[in-house]
A and B are shown apart, each in its own frame.
Chain A
């Protein structure tokens, strides 16, 4: 066997060497330039072998294998990363243990740690969190594993390895189903789990329930920090969102929101669990808060009582006091109590702090507002913190979108300024402020508010026959459409407010033009298509179809290709006459 192997090796190597030599050697052939009569060798060495030489075959095989290996490397390497994709189970409790940045040349992948799996196992053994989490000075549990402070990379790695693997080994010895002990099973290249963690926050309902549970003792959760004494304290009337101070990352003296939430929330839940078994005292596992299904199962209090924090019912929004003298625009009467109902949390508007907007957002912007001016804070179209931004979102509701989708986005309408800016002038505000106590002081008399013109002025049916050629004229149920739109508007408070003038709703279709009882007809402005003088105005044919079909599409009504729904096909088509818009 050895001999045979040697022989084979020998042939392979010999074949390969022969190949190289053959390619670059000159084996007795005549070279360029020598006269034919003086050529050195003529192949008169007799018979031609009947089969290729065996060495040649071996050499060829060697070459093939060598090249196959060289070329197969990218094949293998490229294939490796994609192949073996394991079915990933989604879990909400994934913790990524990744300390690779502490190492110069990390050798292994990060570890996916399913926390709930472990808390379940721990509770089965009638142990508690302190099995893995040490208690700190302030008697809170440290969220770190088996330690209070972070040691260096090697030490930390050892800490994990020793403790994790020890526990797994123990339980395995005891015959209990447990986790892995080999390197590759924890440090997996292809992740086993997919994180399905949903972020969780407080809304009014949940906050109310917590308040009830704490007997309205706000100090249980809300605190302020005194730099001088390095202590936390509570001051009534200063309660705000945790995130106002606790940010994404842990800062010097202030933990990240994630840590703060898990400490405080979980800590309290764990405490209460002593008396209230199960999840009655609040969830203690990851999934309880972060799993979508569990979130949807959280009991919701419909219409919780108003959160009283000393906030006003009614405000006249103006420039900050120091700038009142120099501001000119009429103030904005704002029903704070009314708007509280529209948002689940205060943070939608009070996105950094519970202070009034104008404290940071001065007329010219300030450092606290990162340069965002008051004007922008109030009117930014794409921000859901701003007044106008939030109002814009209403426009995409199917009941509103029919008209609003066709209108240019990204621009403030100049007509709606005075609807909001209906308050007293700012320069006399101090004196006049006490005169106004609610929005009703500014709301127009409902009897004076007309959403549309009187019914007698609105045509019931409109015949559109100006382009009629292949189809019969269309009979548009104009009155019905106006009625429907008015109905939608009346159902929405904000819509009523902004459409309070009788000619506003007409502009949904009778746009870009003179308004009044007798608005312009489509054909007064829309004529030939592709007019270079009016490049953005469609021709009459498209104007009708885009307006009508566009509205139907945005409101989710009707089948656009069903032409006969609006106009019947003509039996005899007059194709000779060109279309009036051509």
Chain B
């Protein structure tokens, strides 16, 4: 395959130029979230740990009955997490000491604005709905469990014990009920309205107002407003968030942004590598050819030189031989002449006597 240097340079520059041209940000493509999406505000200062939310969730979602009934408060002695039979749990904390009032906190999927699970799922099994809920489609799930790795809150649980139909199990914000205009099961059941349902932006306003009205009661921060790009489940508490098992080291970068950089390198590699590697291959081929050619020429030259040297030698030898012959002839002639002269002299002498 013969390629001229010019052509090669043209390919390289084209590939390079394509790689560095920036993508113009088109205004209508800047998506800031569904405007009317709903959310839930959890006010942990109001939670009394009665677990009616857990019970309602279990009922509404047809989940299997738990080992201990929902009015058994002894389960609160241990910290629990969501599992494949439990979409939500309430944990008890005693931040002020054993003999002071405990604090309770409900834990479930936070329905992030830019969910890590949805971003990480390679079959698109998760969808962020316009209603705000992040829902899971078990009909395409392959069971790779990358969503469990990706979730910053460690929410999704997997049915490891099922063989043919293992699913990811997590809170759905009762999305089907939302579509019917009903409230999520947990929200409806809470006697204290520790869970407030409404549009996310309204909930933030409500939370701000509560904090303003009762500054001694709340920490001035709405958890979920910005964490990992914002979540639709918001929290306000009376004490430090870490004490209630909220992760405060998550940052505000939404999860998809964490991998979009790496993914954007794909077209670059696919564009540049063939050009680079093809170029190197071509260079090496050319080098090989050049080297082979030089070798051939060197061999030819060697042959020529040897040949001419041999001819030269032969010529010399021939010349010498001729000269020798000439000399020999000369010598012979001379000798003959001498002999003849001698003979003549002898004859002349005989004639005289």
User: Which chain A residues have a beta carbon within 8 Å of chain B's beta carbons?
Assistant: 32-35, 37-38, 408-411, 529-530, 532, 535-536, 538-539, 541-542, 545-546, 549, 553, 560-561, 563, 582
Contacts and interface: CB of A to CB of B under 8 A. Distances in A.
Contact of A532 (B50, B73, B198, B213): B198
A541 B193 contact: yes
B288 interface: yes
B292 interface: yes
B50 A563 contact: yes
27 contacts: A33-B287, A35-B288, A35-B292, A35-B295, A37-B295, A408-B214, A409-B216, A410-B213, A529-B183, A529-B197, A530-B197, A532-B198, A535-B206, A536-B206, A536-B210, A541-B191, A541-B193, A542-B191, A542-B192, A545-B192, A545-B193, A549-B48, A549-B192, A560-B48, A560-B50, A561-B49, A561-B73
Contact of B291 (A33, A539, A541): A33
Given A32-B284, A33-B287, A535-B206, A546 B193 contact: yes
A530 B196 contact: yes
B76 to A, nearest CB: 9
A538 B193 contact: yes
Given A532-B198, A561-B73, A38 B295 contact: yes
B236 to A, nearest CB: 14
A540 to B, nearest CB: 10
Contacts of B187: 530
Nearest to A32: B284
A542 B187 CA distance: 11
A546 B46 contact: yes
B56 to A, nearest CB: 11
Q: Chain A at the B interface: mostly helix, strand, loop or mixed?
A: loop
Interface string B173-196: 000000000010001101111001
A409 B288 CA distance: 86
A411 B199 CA distance: 28
B191 A532 contact: no
B123 interface: no
Interface in B204-245: 205-206, 209-210, 212-217
Nearest to B213: A408
A532 B202 contact: yes
Contacts of A32: 284
Contacts of A546: 46, 192-193
Q: Which of B191, B209, B214 has the most CB of A within 10 A?
A: B191
Contact of A409 (B192, B199, B215): B215
A38 B288 CA distance: 11
B101 interface: yes
Given A33-B287, A410-B215, A582-B188, A536 B209 contact: yes
Contacts of B214: 408-410
B215 A530 contact: no
Contact of B193 (A34, A35, A411, A539): A539
B213 A553 contact: no
A535 B50 contact: no
A412 B96 CA distance: 30
A33 B206 CA distance: 72
Contacts of B206: 535-536
Given A33-B287, A409-B217, A561-B48, 14 more contacts: A33-B291, A38-B291, A38-B295, A408-B213, A410-B214, A410-B215, A411-B213, A535-B206, A539-B193, A542-B190, A542-B193, A545-B192, A549-B192, A582-B188
Nearest to A539: B193
A32 B291 CA distance: 12
Contacts of B287: 33
B216 to A, nearest CB: 6
A104 B202 CA distance: 57
Q: Which of A34, A542, A549 has the most CB of B within 10 A?
A: A542
Contacts of A560: 48-50
A173 to B, nearest CB: 52
Contact of A535 (B49, B101, B192, B198): B198
Contacts of A542: 190-193
Give 4 nearest A-B pairs by CB, closest first. Answer: A542-B193, A560-B48, A545-B191, A35-B291
Given A538-B193, A541-B191, A541-B193, A561 B50 contact: yes
B256 to A, nearest CB: 30
Contacts of B215: 409-410
Nearest to B288: A35
Contact of A553 (B101, B196, B205, B284): B101
Interface string B263-307: 000000000000000000000100110011001000000000000
Q: Which of B48, B206, B287 has the most CB of A within 10 A?
A: B48
A201 B88 CA distance: 53
Contacts of A536: 206, 209-210
Contacts of A539: 193
B126 to A, nearest CB: 26
Nearest to B189: A541
A38 B292 CA distance: 10
A38 B50 CA distance: 85
A422 B103 CA distance: 44
Contacts of B210: 536
B122 to A, nearest CB: 37
Contacts of B191: 541-542, 545
A535 B202 contact: yes
A474 to B, nearest CB: 12
Nearest to A582: B188
Nearest to B38: A530
Contacts of A410: 212-215
Nearest to B193: A542
A546 B100 CA distance: 20
Nearest to A561: B50
Nearest to B214: A409
A525 to B, nearest CB: 15
A34 B50 contact: no
A404 B190 CA distance: 24
Q: Which of A35, A409, A530, A563 has the most CB of B within 10 A?
A: A530
A411 B291 CA distance: 92
Q: Which of B197, B215, B217, B291 has the most CB of A within 10 A?
A: B291
Nearest to B182: A582
B44 to A, nearest CB: 13
B183 A530 contact: yes
Q: Which of B101, B196, B212, B215 has the most CB of A within 10 A?
A: B196
Interface string B72-90: 0100000000000000000
